[in-house]
């Protein structure tokens, strides 16, 4: 059975053997795009290369990029623990062509990697193309020999990618894996597609147009390819699992979380949440983010507090979350030296935030119970309650929503927003700010600076020179 680590190495080695430069994952903090909260795809570090503003020594690259989708345009936070396939932190395997090969080779490489290199049975796969992209459909059907009745034509929402309102854009083709009849869900493009039976594994983007301000599409002189495949999704297939959280890496983290919290049921969704969140938080801190009340730091704070709440629900009696870091380092440290280098900082920052929140978590939860007891079943949670939990007990809105969801309730977000606005007005007039969410600054001051290691690395199986 291939481990997650071996699959990552195989991917890089396959594309290196086809003249792709192996490139290390960039930091989660986008260096070239202040509008983006976190790196959420493999192409982000190559954005300027695609735009033609930056030249590299190579025209083909492959990477395994760490990604976070929690906040901003792509936000999968609410899915975590509830779908088989979403994480807030995941790795995206990708191969890229900068004006080098195009559709034909990109599809052929993906096909060869999945069916030859990994040996997946062709009959388990399903393909989508953009509804106007006859060329891609023809390649799948006539060159690959893929059955026409398993190719869905999909509209622009899912199968036409664009970098922004203007600039590079183009059609996608996606590859799905059928996890079997026992699982509810249907093929992409059908009304049942939302289930978890057919899971999208690989998305190939063909950048072939330059979108103008007037909406017209000019052909790019040198079309490019950008692909992304979720490492954890392909690992679950290769390990005979349906749920990503059943792969080797997550099972280690889940086991540790159950030891630390005393949880008995290893299938408890809260264990998945904790296992997911420790990766996101550790990598964000390794990349220089610290919990705070705004921007990236607030996203991090929200995720740590959410993990703490799930730990509490699982029965944790003590601060537990920071104790997960060691387990993560054992799983991913070999491939991500920045985790090892920063282990101490990560533990210290997590512990400080856990500590801070522990003081109010229990009372906040009691407050929630008390207030909802008198509400009718399924009644909406008043925005005022959510605001009090936020303001007095440090519960980020999404944490209250997370608690409410388990209770089959929703929060009145509009009313919450009104309370927030009213408070801002008050504090503007009083020139004072609530300190309730502030983390102890002493801890932050004591953190050592992030140490970056070099960019040479070898993959587990083959020696590929990474840059
Ligand atoms: P989905 O439709 O399943 O949400 P997506 O279309 O949003 O996926 P893309 O933006 O196309 O995903 O990203 C490329 C690949 O990255 C996907 O095909 C999938 O394998 C993987 N991926 C995307 N989001 C996640 C996530 N939250 N957790 C794990 N893997 C993901
Ligand atoms: Mg998605
Ligand atoms: Mg999709
Ligand atoms: Mg997609």
pLDDT means per 10 residues, the chain with 467 residues, are 96 98 97 87 94 93 97 85 93 98 98 98 98 97 98 95 89 97 92 90 96 92 95 98 96 98 96 98 98 95 97 96 98 96 98 95 94 91 96 94 94 96 85 43 40 36 66
Measure the CA angle with vertex 117, ends 111 and 118; round to 5°.
90
Q: Using an 8 Å Cβ cutoff, are 303 and 281 in contact? A: yes
- Most informative mutation of 75, 233, 237 for ligand 1 (most atoms within 8 A of CB): 233
Tell me the DSSP string of 63-129.
EEEEEE-SSSSS--GGGTTTSSS--SEEEEEEEEESSS--HHHHHHHHHIIIIIIS---GGGEEEEE
Cα distance between the two ends of the chain: 29
Cβ count within 10 A of residue 57 = 6
Q: Of 331, 272, 242, 277, which Cα lies nearest the Cα of 4?
A: 331
Q: List, in sequence order, every residue forming a beta bridge with 206; answer none if it has no partner.
A: 225
Q: Using an 8 Å Cβ cutoff, are 461 and 335 in contact? A: no
Dist. CA 413–CA 30, nearest whole Å? 30
Q: Using an 8 Å Cβ cutoff, are 104 and 52 in contact? A: no
How much is the pTM? 0.90
pLDDT of residue 437: 40
- Most informative mutation of 74, 127, 203, 238 for ligand 1 (most atoms within 8 A of CB): 203
pLDDT of residue 428: 81
Closest residue to atom 26 of ligand 1, CA basis: 86
| Residue partners of 431: CB distance under 8 A and separation at least 6 | none
pLDDT of residue 467: 82
87 Cβ below 6 A of ligand 1: yes
From residue 345, how far is each of 25, 88, 444, 446, 447 by CA, in Å? 21, 21, 9, 9, 6
pLDDT of residue 74: 81
- Most informative mutation of 42, 64, 92 for ligand 1 (most atoms within 8 A of CB): 92
92 Cβ below 6 A of ligand 1: yes
CA of 87 to the centre of ligand 1 (A): 9
- Residue 264: φ, ψ to 5°: -95, -35
pLDDT of residue 96: 98
Helix intervals (H) in 316-457: 325-332, 337-341, 343-373, 383-393, 397-406, 413-430, 441-445
Closest residue to atom 9 of ligand 1, CA basis: 203
pLDDT of residue 52: 86
- Position of tokens 């997650």? 4
Q: Give the number of whichever ligand sits closest to the CA of residue 201.
A: 1
- Residue 13: φ, ψ to 5°: -65, -40
Q: List, in sequence order, every residue forming a beta bridge with 207; answer none if it has no partner.
A: 224
pLDDT of residue 431: 57
Find how far residue 128's CA is from the centre of its chain: 22
Please state at what angle helix 343-373 crosses helix 269-286, rounded to 10 degrees: 140
- Position of tokens 């995206």? 92
Dist. CA 28–CA 38, nearest whole Å? 6
Tell me the DSSP string of 258-295.
HHHH----TT-HHHHHHHHHHHHHHHHHHTT----SSH
Closest residue to atom 3 of ligand 1, CA basis: 200
Q: Using an 8 Å Cβ cutoff, are 348 and 446 in contact? A: yes
Q: Using an 8 Å Cβ cutoff, are 224 and 207 in contact? A: yes
230 Cβ below 6 A of ligand 1: yes
């Amino acid at each position: 059975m291939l481990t997650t680590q071996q699959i990552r190495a195989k991917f890089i080695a396959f594309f290196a053997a086809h003249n792709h430069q192996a490139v290390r994952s960039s930091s989660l903090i986008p260096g070239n795009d202040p509008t983006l909260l976190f790196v959420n795809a493999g192409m982000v570090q190559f954005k300027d290369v695609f735009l033609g503003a930056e030249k590299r020594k190579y025209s083909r690259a492959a990477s395994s990029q760490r990604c976070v989708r929690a906040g901003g345009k792509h936000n999968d936070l609410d899915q975590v623990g509830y779908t088989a396939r979403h994480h807030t932190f995941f790795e995206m395997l990708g191969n890229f062509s900068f004006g080098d090969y195009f559709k034909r080779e990109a599809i052929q490489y993906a096909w060869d990697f999945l069916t030859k290199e990994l040996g997946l049975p062709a009959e388990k796969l399903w393909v989508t193309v953009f509804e106007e992209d006859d060329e891609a459909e023809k390649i799948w059907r006539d060159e690959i020999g893929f059955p026409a009745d398993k190719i869905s034509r999909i509209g622009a929402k899912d199968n036409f990618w664009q970098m922004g309102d203007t600039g590079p854009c183009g059609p996608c083709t996606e590859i799905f894996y059928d996890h079997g009849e026992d699982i509810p869900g249907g093929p992409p493009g059908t009304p049942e597609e939302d289930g978890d039976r057919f899971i999208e594994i690989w998305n190939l983007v063909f950048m072939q147009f330059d979108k103008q301000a007037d909406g017209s599409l000019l052909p790019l002189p040198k079309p490019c390819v950008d692909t992304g495949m979720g490492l954890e999704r392909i690992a679950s297939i290769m390990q005979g699992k349906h749920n990503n959280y059943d792969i080797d890496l997550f099972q280690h983290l889940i086991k540790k979380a159950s030891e630390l919290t005393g949880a008995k049921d290893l299938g408890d969704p809260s264990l998945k949440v904790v296992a997911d969140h420790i990766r996101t938080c550790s990598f964000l801190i390794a990349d220089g983010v610290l919990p705070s009340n705004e921007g990236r730091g607030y996203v991090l704070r929200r995720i740590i507090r959410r993990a703490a709440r799930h730990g509490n629900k699982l029965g944790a009696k003590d601060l537990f979350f920071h104790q997960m870091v060691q387990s993560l380092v054992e799983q991913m440290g070999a491939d991500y030296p920045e985790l090892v280098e920063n282990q101490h900082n990560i533990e210290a920052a997590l512990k400080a935030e856990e500590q801070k929140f522990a003081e109010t978590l229990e009372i906040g939860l009691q407050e929630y119970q008390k207030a909802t007891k008198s509400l009718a079943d399924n009644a909406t949670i008043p925005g005022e309650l959510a605001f009090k939990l936020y303001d007095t007990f440090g519960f980020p809105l999404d944490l209250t929503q997370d608690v409410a969801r388990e209770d089959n309730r929703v929060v009145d977000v509009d009313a919450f927003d009104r309370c927030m606005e009213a408070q801002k007005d008050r504090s503007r007039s009083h020139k004072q700010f609530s300190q309730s969410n502030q983390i102890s600054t002493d801890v932050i001051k004591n953190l050592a600076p992030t140490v970056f290691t070099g960019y040479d690395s070898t993959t587990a199986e083959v020696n590929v020179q990474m840059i």
